[in-house]
Amino acid sequence: MFFTCSPEEWDAVIRVHLRGHFCTSRHAAEYWRAESKAGRPVDARIINTTSGAGLQGSVGQSAYSTAKAGIAGLTLVQAAELGRLGVTANALAPNARTRMTSTGGFDMEAKEGAFDVFAPENMAPLVAYLVSAQSKGVTGQIFELKGGTIFLSQGWTDSPAYEKGARLEAGELDGIVRRLLETREPAKPVYGAA
């Protein structure tokens, strides 16, 4: 839980997930930039790994959720900055069984005789597509996969707005905010929230 997470635990999770993505892709981006400057064509791909926990939060995983949200943001910036070099950047948020899910109380066990929705190998076809020449131009996207279902995340985007034409006053904001909340599409709930 957030209130029991020590700064050392926080730093370790951020270092592994967010810094780990930065360090590997930063090194590759430097190479691709040098190739481009040398006049050699670049057709390269970055595939980051985020999580549903990073896209909508997860109770009991504040550091992990924050790191994975940072990876989604990093993906957007990589796509915007590296596109002119010939590099696409996308992220995958897999819904798959891992060592972490097997000890975290998640119900992801295979059901006898049924399609194994949470088999990790279900993620491979999307990764293969995203690294292929066929995916050229697909960039800055966050994909969430669950079994045979693929979702395209819309991320943070503007929703309905209210324009007063003057400075808003604190006393009028409750009604305005509540009207805006009623008119927007509801957000996905935080994992583990009641």
User: Cα angle at 17 between 16 and 21, to 5 degrees?
Assistant: 105
Concatenated DSSP letters for 112-155?
TTS--TT-GGGGHHHHHHHHSGGGTT--S-EEEEETTEEEE---
Give CA torsion, residues 96, 15, 75, 142, to 10 deg.
Answer: 20
Active site residues: 51, 64, 68
- d(C-alpha 126, C-alpha 113), whole Å: 24
Strand order in the sheet with 44-49: 44-49, 87-95, 142-146, 149-152
Question: Radius of gyration of the chain from Cα atoms?
Answer: 20
Nearby residues of 63 by Cβ (< 8 Å), 6 or more positions away: 5, 9, 10, 13, 14
